[in-house]
Amino acid sequence: MNHYRQTLAAIWEAVSGEAALQNVIDLSRFHRIQASPGYRRAAQWLHRTLTRAGLEAEVLSYPAEEGVRFWAWPSFQEWDCSEATLHLIAPGSEAALLADFRACPISLIQRSASFDGEAEVVLLEGARDGEVEADYEGLEVAGKMVLTRGDVRRVRELAVQQRGAVGILFDGMRYVPPVRLQGDLMDARQYTAFWSDPGTSRAFGFVLTPRQGQSLRRLLKKGETVRVRARVLAEEYDGSLEVVSAAIPGTADQPQEILVTAHLCHPQPSANDNASGAAAALEAALALQGLVLAGALPRPRRTIRFLWMPEMTGTMAYLSGREAELGQIVAGLNLDMVGEDQDQTGGSWLIERPPEAMASFAPELLAWLRGLLPGLRGMPDVSPSHTGIGGYALYRQEEVAFSGGSDHLILSDPSVAIPAPMLIQWPDRFYHTSADTPERTDPASLARAAALAAAYAYWLATAGEQEVSSLGFQMVARFKERIVDEARQAAAEVMGLDDGAGLANALAALDRRLSYVVDRQQAALTSLRSLAPVLCLVDELREQVEETARQELAWVRQAAGLRAVQLGLPGLPEAEPLGLDAAGEEADRLLCPVRLVRGPVPLDQYRATLPAEDQEAWNQRLAAAGDGRHHTLATLALFWADGKRSILEIADLVEMESGARDAGLLLHYFQLLEKLGFVELHPC
């Protein structure tokens, strides 16, 4: 693989961070709400840019209509807003313009309905900011605007649909610790939207800055009557949503593709999220196209396809339309929020791995290539050592486990089976706010992301048996590093224990852990066969993985034996048998979920179609969970559901992957999916 350094150097010379930044600036001028005229104009601009460079590009159109589904993902009507203003009219001494869509599109809750009138403002200040029934006790909201920091989806349901409030004023600012804490960004507005979920009614609302909200709250708590005049001219109608596709065709007779994705949507300006990802993908496409046309790089054997789309919705639309061809797509890469100026935003450049149910070579390749970047001539933010030999990156970077939240979630679903890591910078101080502007974007970050995306796609598009074999050895070497680290930590743990039962249980836990890790690494090695005929090599590497784990387990057993002698024990007792949780795991042992549709299921978007008692029970379940992990746990559980595993077995695997366990939540989740028709629960 060392010869690939020359290819990477050529790609690095071809990309321009400054050009990519200019494209971020251009894209951030569009108000890019999914299925809207502003998004369409951005897609058309992108298409023109691609075709001028000679790329085979097209704009694909999909129906933006209620009742249409892309696998399990519901479509929705197109939305357009031409005017929206909010004036404070009482008390008269405080009269002011609070929001103007023309000046700041984020000041409107996106996908708001039309409204023209005045209303009194009432404060939702219960324990959950209007997200639970108890927050409305003794409060009359009918005919009024509610001021809240709560989730607007839930407040719409409880305040507008159920209690007759006319609209919502949102003055919240999501915490993103440690880079955004309470009191930060007092003059920014948070991006919020009403999604047209099946079973919900239309509503309107405005977004205030925290400082504006603080002022209104002060007036209301003093007993002042607060009134506003709101005007919104907006419409929803049957329309379309667009996906932009561009390809560098491969030369092989057997069609195979590498897919690079970046979502094009989000409100103006949304520079880092995700004009930066879209611009980096564009720069990668332009660089590769230029190198191939100039003869500096051979045309790849496999096709490289770049895709820009409305987040999630567009990916589901595109893939469901190519269902018969999914097997041709060897791997993917998702670019989301890649252009951050780390000094301003506070984040790190992350490789997020695919879920472990979709174990693959893909993240290993991406990590290896990223490790080569500091050695390239002219790489910014790289410092030489004090001796002048070698150097190191000054920017922050890390590899992290899968958490989802972007389009790689769809690609890497085992029912879709396109292994796709994600490049992202996180956290971001300005995420989903009006302060996410181009000056928060760094051309060096854009250049690195574009070069890495291009190198990853080109390596996969040209790889043959030699390259794939080399990658296999790299994967085993990285695995050995990880397994030795796990064994080292386990040995330190057992040497700190003071009883035989603890020693036995720790060894049993390590045995289970290593069995899981070996299984996932062997699955990742097996995935190399999709790139080249390396059957025998893969078998040999799989054996090496198993032998490494055996050796490390034996080493930890030796440490446990020594500790037992130190404690004066005659030997190690048997490990305690694993018990069942009190959360219904006995029932979970008997049920196997069978998936009926491809792709993830957005349960939140279907919740309003469930009976009221089911909605309330699920809300209580989530409230009891107390954090946001339930989304990730449910997603991982769906990915592990292969029609053969019981919910209890799935809970075990989710725990191995995430370190968290809530079998009761998973059972409840699958029961709701069954009611919605997306899974069937069969006796195992």
What value does the CA radius of gyration of the chain take, rounded to a whole number of Å?
Answer: 27
Cis peptide before 414 (omega within 30 of 0): no
Tens digits of residue pLDDT in 203-248: 999 999 999 999 999 999 999 999 999 999 999 999 999 999 999 9
For helices 443-462 and 17-27, give the axis angle rounded to 10 degrees.
Answer: 110
Output phi, psi for 512, to 5 deg.
-65, -40
Instruction: Assess whether pLDDT exceeds 80 at residue 183.
Output: yes
- State pLDDT tens for residues 644-682: 999 999 999 999 999 999 999 999 999 999 999 999 999
User: May I ask the CATH architecture of the domain 4-75+241-462?
Assistant: 3-Layer(aba) Sandwich (3.40)
Closest CA to 289 of 23, 1, 52: 52
Peptide bond into 505 cis (omega under 30): no
Region 44-55: mean pLDDT is: 98
What residue ranges in 45-200 does DSSP mark as E strands? 56-64, 69-70, 73-74, 78-90, 96-100, 115-123, 145-148, 167-170
pLDDT at residue 583 in the model: 47
Q: How far apart are CA 549 and CA 487, in angstroms?
A: 9
Condensed to tens digits (0 to 9), the pLDDT of residues 379-405 reads: 888 888 777 777 788 999 999 999 999
d(CA 245, CA 304): 11
Q: Under a CB-based contact definition with an 8 Å cutoff, are residues 350 and 448 in contact? A: no
Q: CA-to-CA distance for 648 and 588, rounded, in angstroms?
A: 5
Closest by alpha carbon to 49, among 265, 272, 282?
282
As a whole number, mean pLDDT of residues 587-603 equals 90
Kindly write down the DSSP assignment for every residue of 594-624, as one continuous string.
Answer: EE-SSS---HHHHGGGS-HHHHHHHHHHHHH
The pLDDT value recorded for residue 253 is 85
Which helix (H) or strand (E) segment is 230 a member of? strand 227-237
pLDDT for the residue 383: 84
Residues 615-634: what's their mean pLDDT?
Answer: 85
Q: What is the pLDDT of residue 568?
A: 92
**Burial of 489 per CB tally in 10 Å (0-12, 13-18, 19+):** exposed
H/E element, 500: helix 500-526
Residue with tokens 């409030």: 165
- Cβ neighbours for 162, distance < 8 A, ≥ 6 positions apart: none
Residue 626 has pLDDT above 90, yes or no: no
What's the distance, Cα to Cα, between the start and end of the chain in Å? 46
**pLDDT > 60? residue 480:** yes
User: Could you tell me how far CA 591 lies from the centroid of its own chain?
Assistant: 29
pLDDT at 4: 86
d(CA 244, CA 58): 6
pLDDT interval class at 580 (50, 70, 90): low
| The pLDDT value given to residue 588 | 62
Looking at residue 539, its pLDDT comes to 95
Q: Could you tell me where the DSSP H helices lie in 158-222?
A: 210-221
Q: Tell me the residue type at 387.
A: T
Q: What is the mean pLDDT of the chain?
A: 95
Mean pLDDT of 412-429: 99
**Tokens, residue 155:** 């407040």
What is the rounded average pLDDT of the residues 464-483?
96
* 338-350 tens-digit pLDDT: 999 999 999 999 9
Give the model's pLDDT for residue 599: 98
What's the sign of the alpha-carbon dihedral 669, 673, 679, 683?
A: positive
Model confidence at 138: pLDDT above 80? yes
State the Cα–Cα distance between residues 603 and 616, nearest whole angstrom: 14
pLDDT of residue 180: 96
Q: Which fold has domain 78-237?
A: Glucose Oxidase; domain 1 (3.50.30)
Task: Tell me which DSSP letter residue 511 carries.
Answer: H
Split at pLDDT 50, 70, 90, the class of 67 is very high
Plot region of 346 (φ>0 → left; ψ -120 to 50 → alpha; else → beta): left
User: 427: cis peptide before it, omega within 30°?
Assistant: yes
Return the percentage of the chain with pLDDT > 70, whole number. 98
Report the pLDDT value the prediction gives residue 357, as an integer from 0 to 100.
99
Kindly report the pTM of this predicted structure: 0.96
What is the reported pLDDT for 632?
Answer: 92
The whole-angstrom separation of Cα 425 and Cα 431 is 10
Q: Which of 14-23, 314-323, 363-372, 577-586 has the lowest mean pLDDT?
A: 577-586
Look at residue 585 in the predicted model and tell me its pLDDT.
57
Helical (H) or strand (E) element with 232: strand 227-237
Closest CA to 208 of 171, 181, 252: 171
The phi, psi pair for 364, rounded to 5°, reads -65, -40
Angle at 566 between CA 564 and CA 567, to 5 degrees: 65
Closest CA to 419 of 473, 338, 363: 363
Comparing CA positions, the residue from 66, 86, 84, 85 lying closest to residue 76 is 66
Q: 114: phi > 0 → left, psi -120 to 50 → alpha, else beta; which? A: beta
pLDDT in tens, 537-576: 999 999 999 999 999 999 999 999 999 999 999 888 888 8
CA atoms 378, 383, 386, 392: torsion sign: negative
Rounded Cα distance between 566 and 363, Å, is 43
- Give the pLDDT band of residue 582 (cuts 50, 70, 90): very low
Q: What is the pLDDT of residue 619?
A: 86
Partners of 382 in the β-ladder: 393
pLDDT in tens, 99-135: 999 999 999 999 999 999 999 999 998 878 999 999 9
Q: What is the mean pLDDT of residues 613-637?
A: 87
Tell me which residue of 605, 28, 102 sits closest to 265, measured CA to CA.
28
H helical segments located in 15-151: 17-27, 37-52
Q: Are 425 and 350 in contact (CB under 8 A)?
A: yes
At residue 110, the 3 state secondary structure works out as: strand
